[in-house]
Structures are given as C-alpha cells and as structure tokens.
C-alpha cells in the first residue's frame, strides 16, 4: 500500500479533531544512527536537532498545547564527558538560534529538571529563552534537561515534608492533587501521547507519575530520521486508540478523563 503523503496525513489528523493536548517524546537512537554510518555518536546528536525542529513545527501545526522533549536525563551525566559537553553545546546552540523563531510562532519555552547541574552557558541560554518567550501562548515547548522522574518525585516529597514540618500542611491533606502540584510539571496537563523512538520498550525514568494513563507509541525509527510525517503517524495511531481510564464503557471519546464529568 502506498504511504499517505505528509500533507494528506496531516489533513486527516486535523479533521479527526482529537489532537493530544500534551505530547511527550523520548528522543532515542542518535548513537546507533551514527554508528550505522561509521560516524561518532555526536554526529547522531547533531542530526537529531533537525528532528527537534521538525516535531516542534509539526506539533504547533496540529495545535498541541504542550510538547515535552526528553533532551538529557539525570542518568546521562554518567556518559563520557566529551559526549556530555557536545550534547550541552548542541542544546545551547539550538536554544540560541531558535528562540526568536519560537517566539515568532507563539511558542513559550519551559524547562523541567535539575538545571542547576548544568554549566553556566547552556543554563543561561535556557533561562534566557524561557524569559524571552514567557508571554507566548500558542504552545509550550517543555525541555526535560538533567531530568529524572524519581528525582522529581523526591524533590516533591521533600517540599511537601517541609510544608508539614512548618505546620502549613497536615499529612492528611496530602493527596494526588497536592503531590502532582509539587512536581516540576505542576501546571501542565498529563501527557496524552508518549512517543519513544528507536524501538526501546522502557520509560528510562521519564515522567513516571504523569504517564499513568498516557497512550504509548513506540517506533523503530531512530531519532535523527524522525520527521513531521512520523509525528503525524503517531498522532493518527493515537486517534485510533480507545482510552478507558479503568472504566468499561466504550465511549469512543478518547480524550475524556475520569474527572471530566460529561
Ligand atoms: C538519544 O540518543 C540522545 C540522548 C539520550 C541524549 P542516544 O545517545 O541514547 O542513542 P543510542 O540509544 O545510544 O542509540
Ligand atoms: C533516554 O534515553 C534519555 C533521553 C532520551 C534523553 P537513554 O538512551 O539514556 O535511555 P536508556 O539508557 O537506553 O534506558
Ligand atoms: Mg539511547
């Protein structure tokens, strides 16, 4: 069967109308992409930036509210220093080059993770872009950098414990809402769609709390090969899923969460 072309697929996805509010992506496979070509891993990271541009545009075109990109995990600090430096430099370059363009397209930049661990140049580039785009409202580009979900949950619990110790919060007042509200993602809807490239079937410490009812889409495509077409394919697959949230009914309205009363 002939593959549907990108613009036709996009048209159908938009016509369906069920656009995920929040798409989260584990951008994986850069190293393998480079190795397959006999090139150093960093070459794969460089090429991966083209995919970042493509998915940011694609999500903006579809009208997604939030796009979270897993750019660098807490565990990635254990990689060789040269690779870490290259990744940080690429991140900094991307942000510095794109911030004007992001702003012109109504995109606000946000960041989750232990940013304080970054060296000055990439950290300043990110905080500067966050400030520069702060008033944009079309879409949030949320970068997970030095991010680990368990670390995030630990930070949240520590914050709540501090509130309890200070007498401002009773233990019985801690519930799912207060815990979610203490996470880095406090103001964001949970992801509707999680995409992982390069075929790995794991979460690698990404948004563990937030993906409780997220639809997961795994593709063998390596991140540097991922383009708009692939993003539209993922959303089209999402639109065919039936989200039940633990219930039995087949409502067919796959965006409805338990708290969204009819
Ligand atoms: C993803 O590609 C980029 C980051 C994790 C920062 P990898 O570097 O993990 O590539 P593979 O998985 O080794 O192919
Ligand atoms: C997950 O990919 C982290 C990012 C994409 C930033 P990894 O390549 O680090 O994950 P593992 O090691 O395969 O689980
Ligand atoms: Mg990997």
Residues 161-175 pLDDT 10s: 999 999 999 999 999
- Look at residue 258 and tell me if it is in a domain: no
Q: In the structure encoding, which two tokens stand for residue 248, read together?
A: 């039995």
- Look at residue 122 and tell me if it is in a domain: yes
d(CA 138, CA 11) in angstroms, rounded, equals 20
Residues 108-140 pLDDT 10s: 999 999 999 999 999 999 999 999 999 999 999
Residues 89-99 pLDDT 10s: 999 999 999 99
- Look at residue 248 and tell me if it is in a domain: no
Average pLDDT, the chain: 95
Give me the residues paired with residue 72 across strands: 145
- Look at residue 27 and tell me if it is in a domain: yes
Pocket test for ligand 2, best of 41, 73, 202, 211 (most atoms within 8 A of CB): 73
- Look at residue 9 and tell me if it is in a domain: no
Domains contained in the chain, number = 1
Residue 1: the pLDDT is 54
Q: Which long-range CB contacts under 8 A does 125-128 form with residues at least 24 apart?
A: 125/91, 125/92, 125/95, 125/96, 126/91, 126/95, 128/95, 128/99
Query: With 90 as the cut, is the pLDDT of residue 251 above it?
Result: no
Nearest CA to ligand 1 atom 13: 31
Structural domain for 55, as ranges: 20-239
Buried b (16+ CB within 10 A) or exposed e, 27-64: bbbbbbbbeeeeeebbbbbbbbbebbebbbbbbbbbeb
Q: What's the length of the chain?
A: 262
Residues 76-92 pLDDT 10s: 999 999 999 999 999 99
- C-alpha 42 – ligand 2 centre gap (Å): 15
- Look at residue 112 and tell me if it is in a domain: yes
**CA of 200, nearest ligand number:** 2
CATH of residue 34's domain is: 3.40.1180.10
Residue 262: the pLDDT is 46
């Amino acid at each position: 069967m002939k593959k549907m072309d990108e613009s036709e697929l996009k048209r159908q996805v938009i016509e369906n109308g069920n656009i995920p509010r929040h798409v989260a992506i584990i951008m994986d496979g850069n190293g393998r992409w480079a190795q397959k070509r006999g090139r150093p891993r960093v070459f794969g990271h460089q090429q991966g930036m083209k995919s970042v541009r493509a998915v940011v545009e694609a999500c903006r075109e579809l009208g997604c509210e939030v796009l979270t990109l897993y750019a660098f995990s807490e565990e990635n600090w254990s990689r060789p220093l040269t690779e870490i430096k290259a990744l940080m430099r690429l991140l900094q370059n991307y942000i510095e080059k794109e911030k004007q363009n992001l702003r012109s397209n109504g995109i606000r930049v946000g960041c989750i993770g232990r940013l304080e661990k970054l060296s000055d140049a990439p950290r300043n580039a990110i905080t500067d872009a966050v400030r520069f785009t702060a008033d944009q409202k079309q879409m949030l580009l949320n970068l997970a950098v030095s991010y680990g979900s368990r670390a995030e949950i630990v930070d949240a619990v520590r914050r709540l414990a501090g509130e309890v110790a200070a007498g401002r919060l009773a233990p019985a007042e801690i519930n799912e809402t207060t815990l979610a509200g203490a996470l880095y993602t406090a103001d964001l809807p949970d992801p509707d769609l999680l995409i992982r490239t390069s075929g790995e079937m794991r979460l690698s410490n990404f948004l563990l709390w937030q993906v409780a009812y997220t639809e997961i889409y795994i593709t063998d495509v390596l991140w540097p090969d991922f383009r708009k077409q692939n993003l539209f394919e993922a959303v089209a697959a999402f639109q065919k899923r039936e989200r039940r949230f633990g219930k039995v009914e087949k409502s067919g309205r796959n965006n409805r969460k338990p708290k969204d009363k009819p």
